[in-house]
Structure 1
Amino acid sequence: MIGPAWPRQLNRNHPHLLDAALATLVAGVGALPLVLRFGPDDGPEPTGADAVAAGIAFVLLLTRRRAPLTVLALAVLSLIVVTATSGDKTPILEVTAIITLYTVTRTASRRVGVIAALGTAASLYTIDAAAIGSLTDPGSLGAIAWTGMAASIGGAVRTWRDYLAATEERAIRAEATKEEEARRRVAEERLRIARELHDVIAHHIALINVQAGVASHMLRSQPDQADEALGHIREAGRTVLDELGSLLYVLRQSGEVVQPTEPVPGLSRLGHLLETLTAAGLRIQHRQVGQSRPVPLATDLAAYRIIQEGLTNAHKHGAGAARLLVDYRPDALRIEVRNAVHTRPSAAAGTGNGLTGMRERAHAVGGSLHAALEPDGTFHLDARLPLPDLPAERHAAAMETTG
């Protein structure tokens, strides 16, 4: 920071006190020769006009902040009147005009400041030249120099304050943008967590519900199968608790270095998912086209959740069987689930939360998802998730290997 801070603080907190001190100083210097009865050796003695000029200067400087242009005009007009009346220059009013010009250029627009500076310089030069009787006298030209200096300082101060104000505004805007971005990220994270919770809970609760029905039906007639169904219920309950614990661990430990070691669900766990659903009573015909290859983490998670939700819906609303196709294409991963339904699911109409979640997952990775109930009573789910491009030669080789 340039210069001490207390003058700026005083000017900001007590502007009228500073104006009173400045007006007293200028008026006091102007009235001092009149009080002490002395003057320059080769100049006229102080007169009553000097006292009037000191009083005018005091009043104008005291009120210059309220209406700078008006005070400047009054200062120049007073200078003209007093000079014309006394026949000599009145330095105190010239100083008042120059100080007021500084205030004008500091507070007004650049255009107004330039016009005021030119008008003041011309007026002071004309008054001094008329009082001295010479257009080229250094005293007359000095008025132009002092006027230009005051206007330059005022313009520089105004530019500096505008720069500080713009910088502060940009900082405030950046902070507001940062807070808005943080709120947006929080909203997105909440939506992601909601989708995760829905996928985890809906899948396993559906399995528990089905197995509970089987156990209730077989409890007396086939206790061995009922015990097996209860075992599946225990396994599904333990799995959903583990996955919920892993998900909530992230929320509880958001500020710590330690992270959960549970891997993110992906296509590598597809076999375990199919085994779980098969054990729950869903007959799955699984077919893979193309050679499996590493996929982006977000796409891997989205593919797993879409398959999980699609097969869970097939188990809940279907006739007990489903066909799953996982097709690794050069630039996309295609997932297709087909199953016959005995009741029309709400998701078929696009109103189910499960279908909405699957669509959002597909769109989040730049893909698409289409789900519809076919005329033959088959529910068809078709998702396409983009993958990094695979050269045609590698794709052909992968197709031959698969075939």
Structure 2
Amino acid sequence: MALAIAASVGGTALSAGWSFGVGRLLPAGILATVAGVALPWRHQRPLAVVALTTACGMGQGLLGMLVTPILTAPMTIALYSVGVREDIRTRRAGALIAGTGMLITGTVLTLSRKEFFLSIVNPVSWAMLPIAFGSYVQVRRALAASRAEQAERAKEEEAHRRVIEERMRIARELHDVVAHHLALANAQAGTAAHLKRTDPEQAFAILDQLSGTTASALRELKATVSVLRQESDERNLAPAPGLARLPDLTAACAAAGLKVGVETDGDARDLSPAVDVTAYRIVQEALTNVTKHAARPEAEVRLAYTDRYLTLTVRNALGPAAVAAGRGYGLTGMRERALAVGGTFHAGRRPGGVFEVACTLPLHHRDPDEGKAP
């Protein structure tokens, strides 16, 4: 405010000294001081301050002062404040007030001086430029705020998406670990109960195997939970299960009374960790479904390797319980796993009373989470 008063009064003094002498300096100086003193209220009463500073500028011009940017500094500050802070309606009103005032002043001066450019164009331009520049600054600030808000919203959406994906991943892992071992344990317990009178020794042997099944379930569940509780992002965690553990899986199924045949077409090839885990989990879940729904405790697993893909097929004879198959999360989880590594998945009935789970997986898939034990 002090600078505005000093500039306005100084400009008044220069204009008076150069144009019409010092006789009109006092009233012009008073007008300049009033305009400067009004500036602190430009945020509370923007249009009133614009009108007052414009009127003071008009008065100085009509007193014969040369209307210059220094002389109209208070009006310029008030207009810039309106341009930066106020809405479009207030900006238009401020521009109209200042423009009209300067136009009237310029017209009067033109009648006496015959200097159209200096008397009209310049004052009106000085009135329009501050509010135009202030409006530009306001638009730039709004654009920056909008971009920041969009970036923050995108960040929140990305975080939400990651939470959903992580939740689905946890659900898949827990389902695969718990459902498989519980299905085997249930089959073993049922077989032992059936044999406890006719073949007690075999029943006790199956119960021993049941203990191993539950212990394996606890180990895998503990490993999964330990990974989920990791606070760091280190990759040197326990190795993830892959097709190398397929013999152990079929042996566990055999112990539960499920006969599994494995056939391999083509030379076995190295798989990326994500694809290896996916293939193993799909076979595991498919055999779990066989244990629960098949007509006979038999299944066929076929692995077909090509230069770029692995085609995995699990087939079994349909049973009465197959009607209810698909109501759980097993097939959904298998499909999600296959799609996550860029593969395809299909499950359904085949001619001859056979249910088939088939998927085609690329041999290599880049996964940002590779190395984590599921």
The answer, yes or no, to whether TM exceeds 0.5 is: yes
Tell me, which stretches of 5 or more residues in structure 2 are unaligned? 366-374
Instruction: Verify: 1:289 aligned to 2:269, yes or no.
Output: no
Q: C-alpha deviations, 1:260-319, integer Å up to 9, x for none?
A: 32x211111111111111222112222111111012222211111111111222222221
Identical-residue share of aligned pairs (%):
38
Aligned to 2:368: none
TM-score (norm 2): 0.75
Aligned to 1:44: 23
Instruction: Verify: 1:235 aligned to 2:212, yes or no.
Output: yes
Aligned to 1:279: 255
Aligned to 1:245: 222
Among 139, 159, 184, the residue aligned to 1:207 = 184
Give secondary structure in 2 for the equivalent of 1:322.
strand
Among 151, 175, 200, the residue aligned to 1:174 = 151
Aligned partners of 2:44, 2:337: CA distance in 1, in Å? 63
Is the contact made by 2:80 and 2:131 (CA closer than 8 Å) also made in structure 1?
yes
Aligned partners of 2:24, 2:310: CA distance in 1, in Å? 103
Q: C-alpha deviations, 1:357-398, integer Å up to 9, x for none?
A: 212212222222222234532222222223359xxxxxxxxx
Aligned to 2:115: 135
Aligned to 1:383: 359
Is the contact made by 2:32 and 2:56 (CA closer than 8 Å) also made in structure 1?
no
Q: 1:62 to 1:183 in 2, by over 3 A?
A: closer
Give secondary structure in 2 for the equivalent of 1:344.
helix
Aligned to 1:370: 346
Aligned partners of 1:281, 1:172: CA distance in 2, in Å? 60
**Residues 1-400 of structure 1: matches in 2 within 5 Å?**
25=5, 42-44=21-23, 53=31, 57=35, 88-89=64-65, 97-103=75-81, 106=84, 124-131=105-112, 133=113, 135=115, 141=118, 155-156=132-133, 158-255=135-232, 257=234, 259-261=236-238, 263-318=239-294, 319-346=296-323, 348=325, 350-374=326-350, 376-387=352-363
Code of the aligned partner of 1:371: A
Code of the aligned partner of 1:345: A
Aligned partners of 2:59, 2:137: CA distance in 1, in Å? 36
Q: C-alpha deviations, 1:333-374, integer Å up to 9, x for none?
A: 2122222233232454x3232122212212222222222234
Aligned partners of 2:119, 2:106: CA distance in 1, in Å? 8
Tell me, which stretches of 5 or more residues in structure 1 are unaligned? 1-17, 34-38, 390-403
Aligned partners of 1:124, 1:98: CA distance in 2, in Å? 16
Q: 1:145 to 1:271 in 2, by over 3 A?
A: same
Aligned partners of 2:308, 2:348: CA distance in 1, in Å? 24
Give secondary structure in 2 for the equivalent of 1:294.
coil
Q: 1:282 to 1:147 in 2, by over 3 A?
A: same
Aligned partners of 1:83, 1:252: CA distance in 2, in Å? 77
Is the contact made by 1:50 and 1:90 (CA closer than 8 Å) also made in structure 2?
no
Aligned partners of 1:365, 1:98: CA distance in 2, in Å? 63
Determine which structure has greater relative contact order: mean sequence separation of CA pairs < 8 Å that are 6+ residues apart, divided by chain length: 2
Give secondary structure in 1 for the equivalent of 2:321.
coil
Is the contact made by 1:106 and 1:155 (CA closer than 8 Å) also made in structure 2?
no
> How many residues are paired up?
353
Aligned partners of 1:83, 1:154: CA distance in 2, in Å? 21
Q: C-alpha deviations, 1:135-184, integer Å up to 9, x for none?
A: 39xxx849966775676565555544543443333233222211221121
Q: CA deviation at 1:89?
A: 3.9
